[in-house]
């Protein structure tokens, strides 16, 4: 029987590593939160991390744009686009194949890729959480920016199916799930640089209460209006919340206009 040994979520904007000391009174708090999350990842003794993120037209384009795609390669290389982190991270092909089979059995027909490269939405969190990279990474792409998007409910249910699939694995594999994205930010729009702290704290409050279901009452038009197109990435947080099925604990949250985004860093209590 497999073990879902850790669930977490974090923002992923490239400025985190390209301009790490912007507004030090705020950024130092956030870097310390990532260090604490990384220590928890190391302590969980994971055999692999399912890293749930999106893509910004580096790997996927209009010739092929899935709702969900699981990377099943031996290793995955970062794009290093626009000065973001590059390099290669170890994959988990055998475990990825089992996850793909289990999710298919549970009604999720994910695409799969043997050559999936990773943009900053994967590589920035790995730069801040080296224990996750050390464990080995199974990347799970979620479409968060090209309509039609998977619904919020579908993303929450994907997390639940991941939990069931992990627990049905043979042996005693210890798997972590980390969602990366958001929180409020406007990408390539007149409000670029704005942050909606009320939206961010409202989301975190619901997750801290273990009430991810309440987020499903929101629609994309509301999210776009209140928190920007970048906030559509909360889908990755819902995958992590669905997998954990327990309340979040917030390591840190800060509005960070210097990085053009509201930064959230959370773990989740994994339900027994």
Instruction: Dump pLDDT digits (tens) for 180-193.
Output: 999 999 998 889 99
Residue 22 has pLDDT above 90, yes or no: yes
Q: Name which of 165, 248, 231 is nearest 195 in CA terms.
A: 231
- What is the model's pLDDT at position 253? 98
Say which of 3, 12, 76, 120 is annotated catalytic.
120
Instruction: Specify the pTM.
Output: 0.97
- What is the model's pLDDT at position 188? 84
Is 76 designated active site?
Answer: no
What are 70-96's pLDDT values in tens digits? 999 999 999 999 999 999 999 999 999
Average pLDDT score over residue span 231-249: 98
User: To the nearest whole percent, how much of the chain has pLDDT over 70?
Assistant: 100
DSSP-derived pairing of the beta strands 3-10 and 248-256: unpaired
What count of other Cβ atoms lies within 10 Å of the Cβ of residue 137? 28
Could you give the CA distance from residue 43 to residue 5 in angstroms, rounded to a whole number? 10
Q: Residue 22 corresponds to which tokens in the numbers above?
A: 């912007």
Residue 35 has pLDDT above 90, yes or no: yes
**Please, which residues have CB within 8 angstroms of residue 24's CB and are 6 or more apart in sequence?**
none
Let me know how long the chain is. Answer: 272
What value does the CA radius of gyration of the chain take, rounded to a whole number of Å? 17
Is 21 designated active site?
Answer: no
What are 133-184's pLDDT values in tens digits? 999 999 999 999 999 999 999 999 999 999 999 999 999 999 999 999 999 9
Residue 2 has pLDDT above 90, yes or no: yes
- What is the model's pLDDT at position 251? 98
How far CA 207 is from CA of 12, 112, 221, 267, in Å, comes to 19, 29, 21, 10
For domain 3-268, give the fold.
Answer: Protocatechuate 4,5-dioxygenase; Chain B (3.40.830)
Say which of 3, 12, 76, 185 is annotated catalytic.
185
**Residue 65 pLDDT grade (very low, low, confident, very high; cuts 50, 70, 90):** very high
22 and 61 Cβ atoms separated by less than 8 Å: no
Could you give the CA distance from residue 93 to residue 251 in angstroms, rounded to a whole number? 31
Residue 261 has pLDDT above 90, yes or no: yes
- What is the model's pLDDT at position 36? 98
Q: What are phi and psi of 184, to 5 degrees?
A: -65, 130
**% helix, strand, coil for the chain, step of 5:** 40, 20, 35
Domain ranges of the chain: 3-268
261 and 22 Cβ atoms separated by less than 8 Å: no
Residue 17 has pLDDT above 90, yes or no: yes
């Amino acid at each position: 029987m497999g073990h879902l040994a850790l669930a977490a979520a974090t923002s992923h904007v490239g400025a985190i590593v390209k301009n790490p000391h912007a507004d030090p009174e705020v950024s130092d708090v956030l870097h310390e939160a990532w260090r604490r999350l990384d220590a928890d990842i190391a302590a969980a003794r994971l055999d692999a991390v399912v890293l749930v993120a999106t893509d910004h037209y580096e790997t996927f384009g209009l010739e092929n744009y899935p709702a969900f795609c699981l990377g099943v390669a031996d290793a995955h290389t970062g794009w290093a686009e626009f000065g973001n982190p590059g390099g290669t991270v170890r994959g988990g092909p055998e475990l990825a194949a089992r996850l793909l089979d289990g999710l298919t059995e549970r009604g999720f027909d994910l695409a799969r890729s043997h050559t999936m490269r990773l943009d900053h939405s994967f590589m920035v969190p790995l730069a801040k959480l080296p224990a996750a990279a050390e464990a080995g990474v199974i990347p799970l792409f979620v479409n968060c920016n090209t309509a039609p998007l998977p619904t919020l409910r579908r993303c929450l249910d994907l997390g639940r199916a991941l939990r069931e699939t992990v627990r049905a694995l043979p042996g005693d594999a210890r798997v972590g799930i980390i969602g990366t994205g958001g929180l409020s930010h406007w990408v390539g729009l007149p409000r670029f640089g704005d942050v909606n702290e009320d939206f961010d704290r409202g989301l975190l409050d619901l997750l801290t209460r273990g009430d991810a279901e309440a987020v499903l009452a929101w629609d994309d038009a509301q999210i776009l209006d209140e928190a920007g197109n970048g906030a559509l990435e909360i889908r990755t947080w819902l995958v992590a919340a669905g997998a954990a099925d327990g309340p979040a604990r917030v390591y840190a949250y800060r509005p960070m206009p210097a990085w053009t985004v509201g930064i959230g860093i959370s773990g989740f209590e994994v339900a027994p």
